Structure 1
């Protein structure tokens, strides 16, 4: 996942969706996905017109399949419409009686069996083609969604809240998939049945068609009433579902913090409030559907009474036979199922359309631009001028920060928790933009197009590294897909990870991650460092990347870090001061400002803030860490 010139999760394996300890609150947004300044920051939702256009774009490459599905379904429906006139003929024959009539009834019954067989076969084929069309279209939509979602700037996702994106990729996709597999084929068949049945009524006698159409105004008003209420209701349900999911993520994901600050009751109340809001909206939907069905029944009674009355009039007048009137009544009665199905499927359609609009809203977001040329390792200079940043108005995290990192220089950021170290690192990485001032990487803003090839200028590595499920070699090749086995081993050797990697049950082919071999904290961080070596970015940002390693493995891992960043420009948020001590320069931060800068020896001699931190850390560190 990369923006214009930043390599993040898929290069180093760092999970960028982490809690920034330098922030005033978790994301700068409340759990509704609303900015604390009151600005709605949920990911966009497409308009109905744009949603229809997007579906047309997805279906266009499948035109032949769509036409074939339509032709077969029309044929199946047309064959099925022969049942009513055949039954009407049986009524006429039965009224006439006699041996000839009995033989004719037998022939007609055989025809009915043939119609049933042909209709069954063609209906099955038609539904199969429609399902294939729907599944293909859904697969293409999923691919677009995942592509855009992975390319979203992390700042955009954080402002929306992880729950919003999660709900779209889970609940919305599931809803649309269910509609494609069940509602779409049934809706297509129902609509065709309605159209062809009305045509058949007109063939029997145009007056039967007029009688049947008396039900249409009631059905049309009912459908319009339902759609007018359902569209906004289901949209609110999706938003409420996202808010509930976000609150659950915040509460469960931050359970340690919640317990530490004794916020259990407050978070439980928030979850209950979001859940109650969603339940209320769901009950409104139930009441809406009940009213919808009641109105449809009225339309059915009106239409059936009109057709039966017309049949009695035409039979009495001698214009139509008893069998024709019977066929007309059966035709209208057969409309109950497809009409009700079509109108009822509006429920699924509206709900699926609401979810579809949310997916299209993400797929329409601009793709991350591809940059022009790769930068040579070590040729990137970082310039930070007058930078200030706030996650909430009036609560600055950084103020007036000036910093220059020369090409190939290793700079360590140190300071107490909340000093602003991680925020500054994220600004340099291009994950967020400064509220004030400028950040330049190689002379351009880190998110500006036209700089560095394929997003490989910057690599960010945090303590929260993700191990992807699959062979270890595949996990490493996420950083460079064309890497050979020898290059993989060389990268592992550079970070002192080759010995344990080859000692795995199947070496580099060993399946790691979920369901596979579990790597410990130090091995996981070494894997991330090997990815970094393979990606070969000129600028590396390490945000407490060795914090998860135990004290026993800290020294080895810090040496591996030093080798991985050798020859590159590096900004290191140091968790252990022993790591900062080996940097070319140390920058001390306090309350969002740079308060001291220099080498380890210079700062210790100055007896300022760094010396105080060093003395305090030296008194508490493990004996095996120097």
Structure 2
């Protein structure tokens, strides 16, 4: 219950983009885009991009996807061959008209030929439509399989791996690369099939007319082959570099916009604007290199066309003069070669789309090939809901520890508040206990069993992590709640909502629990969204709950109501509360105070106030802010 993809009842930390306002890194740490392998400073995680499949693996993966659809592929190919072959009857029929005219025969002699041309047009249109339909169905079937496999692996990725790659990397693959591949399958694949068949069969038709016409046409081939090879050598690395640059740009935008409040607070607007500008101009520069490459590509193709057409016309002139071919045959040969312009250019142009699509496809397959997290061969079940942290240290980057030898324990059913200034390490510790990250050193146990021995699946069932960044899925509100418990009845949904004081406002919605919320639906306030997360929590019923500033986004009035709802939702569960408001700490069974990645105090609210230490200072400062609402609360 710790991964975003497996935690339907609550929300979790934002992947990859650790908001500077909430991260444990210093606010001035440099957020790095995925184009950089490591962060230059601070406690940001080292960037390790998600894998990209090799060319050989990409071809093998496509073959694997096509294998279950062999009959559809053969049928589509056969129909396209028939459609193309029928279309090739047009040129000889036009040549026949030329011969009739040259022989000065009466117009009635054209009747049969004209009717045949009309029949060819109809037959070619119908067979082409049928063939393209079959090929499109093949492409969509393969694309659906690939998309499902990709989404399965993407949802199964450990959040630690996503964060190390940077959320921009996965975001670009989920959006840009998938869309690019889908467009290629829907548009480029059918057109490429038509073009290649037209080229092969047209060259065969030229040979049928006279083998010398074929040789003349093939004079253009060396130039075309050289042009294609020249282009591919340059396009493949260029498009791969462009996709990485797009991911880096996306990551930088996520870092800058996601941390905009901290950027403004520390007056880092200029620095972040320069980073965005640098990565944006990098994308622009690569795009312009691609444009210039394509222009040079086309200019070379035109040279090949001129060479081939001149050779065919010269051959036809010589054969007609030698009476080795009729004027109509020479005309048909010229028309055949001229008809090659479109499929040859289309095929070569599609190389441009193909290189970009292949680069995106390799990135998709790179994720699709990732193994799912393995469960232990003999997983241990937690014997209770206790939590034990022993000697835990953690670094996002080597040599930059965020936590130092942290030790703490939570008894079953105990509520422990975790407090400290921003950057103290609270969120990192919460993520470690939730199993999102693995500690660099030390151990964490749930119910007496280590996280490694429990396994990812059991951790998700045992621990729920809820943050201020709750996501509302588009659809009926009831469906959103049932993500936590698919078989929950309406009565159980209402009971969960009532327990967090949300039933009254839900029933007041236009359609009650059937009201569509999320993207394009009814807008919920921050407090209402968090109330839904708490209702999901109740429905999922995990024994251990981690609340990471879950009420931070609500106003003061909403926060007080949410704190009451939180208290009811976690009743009977072991709870670790990363406290944004110290009223939450005051009501906890015990308080753990962190400074600079270390536990510096632990005890009850009254005992820590009496000790006059770090917690007492935080409480005094917080009390002052209650009288001065324009200032942020300490410990936030």
Common fold: TM-score over 0.5: yes
- Confirm or deny: 8 A CA contact 2:383 2:447 kept in the other structure: no
Deviations 1:258-283 (A, max 9, x none): 22222222222222222222222112
Alignment correspondent of 2:39: 36
**279-288 or 174-183: bigger deviation:** 174-183
Alignment correspondent of 1:10: 8
**1:68 is the counterpart of 2:66:** no
- Confirm or deny: 8 A CA contact 2:376 2:453 kept in the other structure: no
**461-470 or 492-501: bigger deviation:** 492-501
1:8-157 aligned at under 5 Å gives the runs: 9-14=7-12, 16-17=14-15, 18-19=18-19, 20-24=22-26, 30-31=32-33, 32-36=35-39, 40-99=47-106, 102-157=107-162
- Confirm or deny: 8 A CA contact 2:7 2:460 kept in the other structure: no
- Confirm or deny: 8 A CA contact 2:202 2:340 kept in the other structure: yes
Distance 1:623 1:534, change over 3 A: farther
**70-79 or 125-134: bigger deviation:** 125-134
Distance 1:376 1:569, change over 3 A: farther
For 1:56 and 1:432, locate their aligned partners in 2 and report how far apart those are by CA, in whole Å.
Answer: 36
For 1:33 and 1:536, locate their aligned partners in 2 and report how far apart those are by CA, in whole Å.
Answer: 41
1:40 shift after superposition:
5.0
**1:395 is the counterpart of 2:400:** yes
In structure 1, which of residues 156, 173, 180 is the aligned counterpart of residue 178 of structure 2? 173
In structure 2, which of residues 555, 558, 576 is the aligned counterpart of residue 571 of structure 1? 576
Structure 2 gap segments, 5+ residues each = none
1:443 shift after superposition:
4.3
- Taking only aligned residues, the RMSD between alpha carbons, in angstroms, comes to 2.8
**399-408 or 131-140: bigger deviation:** 131-140
Partner of 1:418: helix, strand, or coil? coil
Alignment correspondent of 2:241: 236
For 1:454 and 1:194, locate their aligned partners in 2 and report how far apart those are by CA, in whole Å.
Answer: 58
1:532 shift after superposition:
0.6
After TM superposition, the score normalised by the length of structure 2 is 0.91
Partner of 2:523: helix, strand, or coil? coil
1:81 shift after superposition:
0.5
- Confirm or deny: 8 A CA contact 1:379 1:408 kept in the other structure: no
In structure 2, which of residues 312, 315, 318 is the aligned counterpart of residue 313 of structure 1? 318
**532-541 or 63-72: bigger deviation:** 63-72
For 1:406 and 1:82, locate their aligned partners in 2 and report how far apart those are by CA, in whole Å.
Answer: 85
For 2:351 and 2:283, locate their aligned partners in 1 and report how far apart those are by CA, in whole Å.
Answer: 21
- Confirm or deny: 8 A CA contact 2:31 2:255 kept in the other structure: no
1:219 shift after superposition:
1.0
Alignment correspondent of 1:527: 532
For 1:138 and 1:427, locate their aligned partners in 2 and report how far apart those are by CA, in whole Å.
Answer: 37
**173-182 or 588-597: bigger deviation:** 173-182
Deviations 1:312-344 (A, max 9, x none): 333333333222222222211211111111011
Deviations 1:202-256 (A, max 9, x none): 2222222222222211111111111011101111111112222222232333333
For 1:378 and 1:26, locate their aligned partners in 2 and report how far apart those are by CA, in whole Å.
Answer: 43
Partner of 1:383: helix, strand, or coil? strand
In structure 2, which of residues 422, 426, 432 is the aligned counterpart of residue 417 of structure 1? 422
Distance 1:436 1:316, change over 3 A: same
Distance 1:623 1:471, change over 3 A: farther
1:431-580 aligned at under 5 Å gives the runs: 431-446=436-451, 450=455, 453=458, 455-580=460-585
Partner of 2:600: helix, strand, or coil? strand
Alignment correspondent of 1:182: 187
For 2:273 and 2:282, locate their aligned partners in 1 and report how far apart those are by CA, in whole Å.
Answer: 14
Deviations 1:414-455 (A, max 9, x none): 222222111111111111122222223344443666465483
1:28 shift after superposition:
7.4
For 1:122 and 1:336, locate their aligned partners in 2 and report how far apart those are by CA, in whole Å.
Answer: 22
1:514 shift after superposition:
3.4
- Confirm or deny: 8 A CA contact 2:387 2:447 kept in the other structure: yes
1:117 shift after superposition:
1.4
- Confirm or deny: 8 A CA contact 2:49 2:165 kept in the other structure: yes
For 2:495 and 2:306, locate their aligned partners in 1 and report how far apart those are by CA, in whole Å.
Answer: 79
Distance 1:76 1:452, change over 3 A: closer
For 1:15 and 1:589, locate their aligned partners in 2 and report how far apart those are by CA, in whole Å.
Answer: 20
For 1:9 and 1:347, locate their aligned partners in 2 and report how far apart those are by CA, in whole Å.
Answer: 41
1:292-441 aligned at under 5 Å gives the runs: 292-369=297-374, 379-441=384-446
For 1:573 and 1:602, locate their aligned partners in 2 and report how far apart those are by CA, in whole Å.
Answer: 19
**611-620 or 403-412: bigger deviation:** 611-620
Alignment correspondent of 2:261: 256
Deviations 1:287-335 (A, max 9, x none): 2112211221222222222223332333333333222222222211211
Deviations 1:324-371 (A, max 9, x none): 222222211211111111011101111111111111112122224468
**89-98 or 6-15: bigger deviation:** 6-15
Partner of 2:9: helix, strand, or coil? helix
Structure 1 gap segments, 5+ residues each = none
Distance 1:330 1:165, change over 3 A: same
Distance 1:448 1:243, change over 3 A: farther
Alignment correspondent of 2:279: 274
Partner of 1:132: helix, strand, or coil? helix
- Confirm or deny: 8 A CA contact 2:376 2:452 kept in the other structure: no
- Confirm or deny: 8 A CA contact 1:603 1:611 kept in the other structure: yes
For 1:125 and 1:454, locate their aligned partners in 2 and report how far apart those are by CA, in whole Å.
Answer: 52
- Confirm or deny: 8 A CA contact 1:237 1:278 kept in the other structure: yes
- Confirm or deny: 8 A CA contact 2:382 2:446 kept in the other structure: no
Distance 1:372 1:11, change over 3 A: farther
Number of equivalent positions: 621
For 1:558 and 1:623, locate their aligned partners in 2 and report how far apart those are by CA, in whole Å.
Answer: 21
After TM superposition, the score normalised by the length of structure 1 is 0.92
1:186 shift after superposition:
1.1
**1:600 is the counterpart of 2:605:** yes
For 1:165 and 1:287, locate their aligned partners in 2 and report how far apart those are by CA, in whole Å.
Answer: 29
- Confirm or deny: 8 A CA contact 1:127 1:185 kept in the other structure: yes
